[in-house]
Amino acid sequence: MTRDEICQMVRDVLTQQLRLAPEEIRPDGILHELPGADSIRLLQVITQLEQNLGLEFSDKEIFEPHTFEGLVTIAWTRVGRK
């Protein structure tokens, strides 16, 4: 899976879980500041990504990414180690 594919997957999951238009998600956008974002919805995003990618994020990884790009980077890094 390429980094671009992971980026698109993260964007798709965020738009679905938060009911956003794709253009509302900027690379430097703070996740918890996105419209509709709260801790439960963001955990649902992580859970969906874990299922889609067939991996499990550590607690540190779950709470580490504060931006869209940060979440993409963590997912990309984990896929590379799988």
Q: How far apart are CA 11 and CA 22, in angstroms?
A: 7
**17-74 pLDDT, tens digit each:** 999 999 999 999 999 999 999 989 999 999 999 999 999 999 888 888 789 999 999 9
CB contact at 8 A, 72 and 6: yes
Any idea what the CATH number is for the domain that residue 38 is in? 1.10.1200.10
**36-49 pLDDT, tens digit each:** 999 899 999 999 99
pLDDT at 34: 94
Task: Give the pTM.
Answer: 0.90
pLDDT at 11: 96
Other C-beta atoms lying within 10 Å of the C-beta of residue 4: 10
Among candidate residues 52, 40, 46, the one with its CA nearest the CA of residue 9: 52
Residue 81 has pLDDT above 70, yes or no: no
- Give phi and psi for 19, each to the nearest 5: 55, 55
**What length does the chain have?**
82
Which structural domain, as residue segments, surrounds residue 58? 3-81
The domain total for the chain is 1
